[in-house]
Amino acid sequence: MRILLVEDDLIIAKNIISALEIAGFIVEHEKDGEEGWFTGENEKFDAIILDLGLPVLDGLTILKRWRKANINTPVLILTARGNWDERVEGIDAGADDYLTKPYRVEELVARIRALIRRSTGHANPVIEVQEITLDTRLMRISRAGQPINLTPQEYKLTSFLMHHKDRVIDQMELTEHLYTQDFERDSNSIEVLVGRVRRKLGTNSIQTKRGFGYIMSSEK
């Protein structure tokens, strides 16, 4: 899962990035409003964390521009404590959630997980595809009740496909959401990763739709 963080305070940003990466997310960070707006408008993300008090272009203006451009990525806004009017305006402008400073990064990560689940149609933190279960809180994947030991990259692939179960995902989209921008994109990387996951979860856990991509289907 790929997250855009737009935050000008480098100490806060460093703490957020560290927490999100530990939780299995890939994070792209922009330090000013204009760069954040441009990146959010031209690249795909699973969720966006947006500070309102940004240099060059403020967060509310960015959010309104994204929504006007029909960018529906879930957005969590960060506001200073007591600025209730900003929170209300942010929600009215299209924000999906907000968090007031100071906050615990554990809560931020939990809120991001919930935003992504809801945006992909999952209210429950536990997602099931046939006999495979993903507990998004514990970052744990099991098959028929037995925990499966996956590498971080294998977990990211499985998690993404399970969040988007019953939808065919092409290699380009998988690459965008599983790897950082500076990753050297090898056309075989996703194929190799899928093969490794199949060996652990079962041959039919991930189906290949030739010429289209991969799917984890609810139907046997």
pLDDT for the residue 76:
96
- Please report the pLDDT score of residue 123 as a whole number: 87
DSSP-assigned beta bridge partners for residue 47? 3
Please report the pLDDT score of residue 198 as a whole number: 95
What is the pLDDT, as a whole number, of residue 182?
Answer: 63
In the chain, the domains with their CATH numbers are 2-119 (3.40.50.2300), 126-215 (1.10.10.10)
What confidence score (pLDDT) does residue 97 get?
93
Match 């099931």 to its residue by tokens: 128
User: In a 3-state reduction of DSSP, which class is residue 56?
Assistant: coil
- Residues 139-152 have pLDDT tens digits of 999 999 999 999 99
Residue stretches of the chain with pLDDT short of 70:
81-83, 181-187, 220
Q: What are phi and psi of 10, to 5 degrees?
A: -70, -30
Here the contacts of 197-202 (C-beta below 8 Å, separation 24 or greater) are 197/150, 197/154, 197/157, 197/158, 200/148, 200/149, 200/150, 200/154, 201/132, 201/141, 201/143, 201/148, 201/158, 202/132, 202/143
